[in-house]
Chains A and B, each alone.
Chain A
Amino acid sequence: MSALTAAGDLRRLVVRDLRRELRLLDGLIVSTVVPVMIMVVFVYVFGGAISTGSSGLAYIDFVVPSVLLMSGGYGAALTAATIAEDLNGGMIDRFRTLPIAGWVVPAGHIVASVIRNVASAVIALAAALLLGFRPSATPAEWALTLAVVTGYVLAVASLSAVWGLLVRSTQAAGAFSFVVLFLPYLSDGFVPAETMPEVLQGFAEGQPITPITETLRALLLGLPMGSSGAVAAAWMGGAVVLSLPIAALLFRRRTAS
């Protein structure tokens, strides 16, 4: 099986997934309306009451990076459910009797998820710009911003794929999105970590969302990046490099009998 054939198969499966997404009303709402809602809620509802602490930033500037991550991450976490659905239904038998490489099936779900959820993050960003977010990023910094958001969505989608292959039911697969939705709250993303109790502060500073958020802030607002860029890249790269082969392996095992 040539790489070109596999790439063609991957494209067909990605198109299938995106078509499905456009036809599922709840999926479409999650992808488009929810990011805008989150942005509006944080800027207008919480924004007035939350102090950005020693950063001295306006709350909208402070919060946009983590809303971008939340918008992209939530949908990416649902990759587990789309994979579980294929595995539980009869589709997997159809795919397995077709002359295609096994790995293109989970890979198709991951790639489609990345496309869909980066688009969600872009919608959230557009909402932020309408609400008064004024980034100072140069074209190169915009490109890096896109790369960081894509990297984050890819990392979440890959981890979610592993989860979806581990658990048996579609419902259990959905549980992963709770973790992804909750994690940003326990980071420096929505409130400054310095305002949290000491134990949480340690967690907030140690977990991956904080350096990723700080990297995005640095890129969008021209703040000093420090080591957060490298730490963020290590977290996201590590998650992807570790979870993709595990996903491929689990997929082969789950479909072997």
Chain B
Amino acid sequence: MNAIHSKPFTDAIRARGLTKSFDGTRVLNGIDLTVPTGSLVALLGPNGSGKTTTVRVLTTLLPPDGGTATVAGHDVTREGAAVRAAIGLTSQQATVDELLTGRENLELFAGLCHLGRRQARRRADELLERFDLTAAAGRRAGAYSGGMRRRLDLAASMVAAPPILFLDEPTTGLDPRSRAELWAVIRELLASGTTILLTTQYLEEADQLADRVVVIDAGRVAADDSPAALKRQVGAERLVLRLSRAEDLAPATAALSAIDHAAVAAAGPRGLPPADPGLRPDPVSRELTLAVQDADHLRRALDALHHAGVAVEHVELRTPTLDDVFFELTAVAA
């Protein structure tokens, strides 16, 4: 494993123009990705956007059709063994043996990483302690809760103390408490110097953990920015207004556009212009969705509607969803 550290690199993961097709369908459409050593980058996207395929290419499980990628300074297609020696992977499916106990799983994988018997036992002890599984060490993994199972999976990925860790949707399907516990563990790994590439469907997760968020959609990078910048772009919260009358939608849109000085007030061809990317009128539900930057913005928006004489039937404030991010990113691109 020492060979890996002898080769200097500043970016633990570096991918350029990765492409991959399955049966003629393009799944990766030129992915560029950079993960600086010691940082956590989140790959954010919906199901089928190419997150898992990207992870499988970077972990040498799948050869790319085109493009290049290096992990720990090694080419993923030509130096697979060296890459594998530097990485740990926790995939979406269970990658522990459910019939073995937590301890047996860790000792098995430690053995397969060629730690001696005593060393393997010590490593298993350390990891059980670190991932809060000591009490469950003697129970079969199949009897673990979802959160415990993910922690065991994560522990199994860490037996060889790899400098780079891939986590493919580590919290999907977990309850909020288990998710928070897993986040704590991931933060701890990051603090101890591990480089992490994490995929997620949750904006909040990326926001909580990542130094940088790469949004991918249909196998393409839609955005690559810090969580703060991304959220600024998306707006902190969503104001959903249901109007009493459908014909108020156009004046309401115009009134709201006017308060954003940078916004374009001109009406589009159908009279319902999304003047700024955060403003989304829906004639069917009579709903208008607006990205709210702060409390003052919210007050001004409601004032503007009041002055325009628009009757509002229902008001709801909600946190932005991934849908909002995609709407916004594709609206900007269009």
Contact = CB atoms under 8 A, between A and B. Distances in A.
Given A16-B97, A23-B140, 12 more contacts: A16-B108, A19-B100, A20-B100, A90-B91, A90-B93, A93-B91, A94-B89, A94-B96, A95-B112, A97-B84, A97-B89, A98-B112
B93 A93 contact: yes
B114 to A, nearest CB: 6
Contact of A8 (B59, B61, B111): B111
B113 interface: yes
Interface string A83-117: 00000011101111111100000000000000000
B34 interface: no
Contact of A99 (B61, B84, B104): B84
B156 A94 contact: yes
16 contacts: A12-B108, A13-B112, A16-B97, A19-B100, A20-B97, A20-B100, A23-B99, A24-B99, A90-B94, A91-B95, A93-B91, A94-B89, A94-B109, A97-B61, A98-B84, A99-B85
Contacts of A23: 99, 140
Interface residues of B, number: 30
A30 to B, nearest CB: 16
A257 to B, nearest CB: 6
Interface of A is mostly: helix
B17 interface: no
Given A19-B100, A94-B156, A99-B85, A8 B94 contact: no
Q: Which of B97, B109, B112 is packed against the most chain A CB atoms within 10 Å?
A: B112
Contacts of B81: 99
Interface of B is mostly: loop
A89 B96 CA distance: 9
A9 B95 contact: no
Contact of B104 (A13, A19, A24, A256): A19
A12 B112 contact: yes
A171 interface: no
A89 B89 CA distance: 15
Q: Which of B81, B92, B111, B156 is packed against the most chain A CB atoms within 10 Å?
A: B111
A107 B303 CA distance: 74
A136 interface: no
A96 B61 contact: yes
Nearest to A12: B111
A195 interface: no
A90 B95 contact: yes
B87 interface: yes
A99 B114 contact: yes
Contacts of B111: 8-9, 12
